[in-house]
Chains A and B, each alone.
Chain A
Amino acid sequence: MNPVGLSTLYWKEVLRFLKVTVQTVLTPVITALLYLLVFAQVLEDHVEVYAGISYIVFLIPGLVMMSVIQNAFANSSSSLIQSKMVGNIVFLLLSPISPLEFFVAFVAAAVTRGLVVGLGVWLTALWFVDLPLAHPGWVLLFGVAGSAVLGAMGVVAGIWAEKFDQLAAFQNFIILPLSFLSGVFYSIESLPPVWREVSRFNPFFYMIDGFRYGFLGVSDISPWFSLGVSGLFLALVSAVCIRMLATGYRLRG
């Protein structure tokens, strides 16, 4: 065990995003607010997803979660691809840090970034709208689970991608569709039956639904079930990721 190594790597990854907070925290918060303004304006009068809950109140938890997961992904994936391109990944590879420690440090840093950005979006949104917070425990649980899943996916993508455009493809063809088609902007109950069924295979749907439950106290699916699915998915992605690290895939020539 190398606990000092693990915590050092965690701090390094956190410092890396804290040194450029405009880009890593402020920009995503502003992006989320733009979404909020546009969608809330356009759709306010047309949609009511849950009885007695305005569309904007429905929308905000989804947007917060989307920011959380996208930034968690960005943190680990961009750090890894940069280190690989610049070559300074060798410093890490030369050290006695185990694959598991490597994984935990990167994912924990991604969770930290995700939660910091999520907190930013939430606090700013509070300024505009009165938001309920029914079960803070569930909010935190799904926030951590969601950003851990995406942090781990970011490690996988960062190891796999050999160029920035490959990483962009991973982001545009996997992460973005999964997060947009997960019910951030709508409830899947309002979809045609076919799409409703398809959505049930999207793990991001459960993360967002559970997260929203924490705020609103209502959801499409039981939060326990969503937690189970998210946990299972996290275990799966983690296993793939640790396996890649242990074999040295694309890191140790």
Chain B
Amino acid sequence: MNAPVLPGPLNDNPRLDLWVSFPESGKVTINTGRVELGQGVLTAMAQIAADELDVAITRVTVRSGVTDGMPNEGYTAGSQSIQFGGLAMGQACADVRALFIARAAKILACAGDELAVRDGAFFRNGTATGQDYWTLASAIDLSVNASGLARRKASADLRFVGQSSARSDLPAKIFGDDAFIHDMKLAGMKHARVVRQPNKGASIGTIDEASLRRAAKGAIEFVRSGDFLAIVGDNETAVELAGAAAINHVTWTNVETPTPLQQEANWLLQRPVIDRLLGPPEPSDAQGKQRFEATYSRGYLAHASISPSCGLAQFKDGHLTVWTHCQGVFPLRAALARTLKLKSDDITVRHVQGSGCYGHNGADDAAADAAVIAMLTPGTPIRIRWRRDEEFIYEPKSPAMLVKVRALIDSAGKPADWTAEIWSGNHNGRPGGGNALLAGYALPDQEPLPQANEVPEAAGGGATRNADPLYDIASKRIVHHMVTETPVRVSALRGLGAMPNVFALECAIDELAERAGVDPVAYRLSITTDMRARAVIEKVAAMANWQANAPGGNGAGRGIAFARYKNRAAYSAVIVDLEVDEEIRLRRVWCATDGGLIVNPDGAVNQLEGGVIQSASWVLKEQVRLDGGTASFDWDTYPVLKFSEVPPIDIALINPTSSDMPLGVGEATAGPTAAAIGNAVSHALGIRLRDLPLTRERIMAALLKE
């Protein structure tokens, strides 16, 4: 028999003791490389482990995100935590349970399949055997590799998975406890703020220390290495005041001044690019078919996490400890080692919760700031917290994207050939592989980095994510122009290219339906044989009581859109009702999602709702403005959706207890929501708007042009 294939993260970290231990009587500890980002992953992991080990969930303690003695699962990103990390956790627990059963059977001189486990105790023919995990734990060596041989629970036997489980992390946040990294206090800790290098290559000119000390109204010190300058002190208010005043009292040379033209997606055309063709070449003639072509775009987006990034670090006895709310403690450790010229073994990185990040925000950079300062002030614990403007200006942005869709339409009005041509910076600016931590750009003697690369297709792609329509189209391709220089630093935001690509492709599908004179729901069903895709489209249409060919053009509109995230995670279809005059008001949203087996249904719905609302905010309001610098630096210059602008949302999960593998849901609704809004606006106005965000200015301009 061939050895079974282990789930990826378990294959990378096969030792079972990295995943599961029985530290004290009646307790189970599981270690996950995934970290809590407000998405409820720790609760879901506990549910999975409790089921596979047959223990009460209250016995399970989840540890996560430390670079010592834990599985290295890279980043907590891409809606992969349950789909892959959960699979690995489940298999590790099943293997552990099998080892214990085998041992118990030997002691009891019976066959393993005569034994049942109930809440950690071993039973034979319904009678307690006196053995349990904890009586046996000392005799079982878990420092062995997973075999992957143990069978996972059948879905009918799951007790915790599939039930809504209250999130273990929420009470601390509702009672105002020290729930976040921002609330950590270390003995002897000093506060710090960095005087930020305006851009890579900028150098410090003059520093007016006297004015900064006056601004601080309290004692501060300066710490400097090359163009990395920080203000440090015991009193946070003083360092905050001095940090904010530094813009007036520290001068820089080689400062870049981006212009408003550069903030727009069409600035990407004519830039240096690296080209790729995914699929067959585009046919040179139309083969007697009708042509369709349209261009869609979206500007740069900020993660705009509610709290500015925070990091703590201490360098003591040759060892650096860093506390961070980043998405990947192991990759951060590697980047810190390179930047600080330390060995990885001399660094421990610990995850502590921050506010929602939705991707690569300032967390890694703030941790690096703290680490650099800690190395320059050995022994002293350092806490850094970015200012609001600092987070907006210096967090990596989601790249602007321009997508041209070209299609050839057959005599039945259906697409026979499809091209998505994409211009975008890369979505892969995480530290490592061509990208430095922000502090690294300012420090002396840093090694040059190779060209940064886009997220590979095997990982779902970056700018190309979801550019390939799931519909039945005979010939399809993606033409990808990776723009190598962007006016702002770019990286990963929730769904990467999925939102702009689904916006483009699902708006184009509506445009094709209109040309064919077919209702948008019927048109989609006519080009989809994927049964799960059909099911979410039909379900959402039923939820919203979709009326075929409903008249529009009177300021009230309804739109639908669909996508399967990454073409291999969850399926989602969304319908939006809205009204438009000069501005768009969302009235109601419906969403149907098939995410396979759902571990925590209420948690999944929470994520799906969050995705709808965040996407609506992106589409209606968000674009990073550039004007001599980053001109979006606070909540007035980068507004997001407010409570009174959020519509009621109905979510349906399709077959959540099915035996289908769990599929990531966290990022599934962003693309369909964006396109459903675009389609609803077109329905309401009778005019197609193809450039995001759909601001009042753009709506007015489009109405005037009519």
Q: Are A and B subunits of one complex?
A: no
Binding site for B on A (CB under 8 A): none
Q: Which residues of B contact A (CB under 8 A)?
A: none
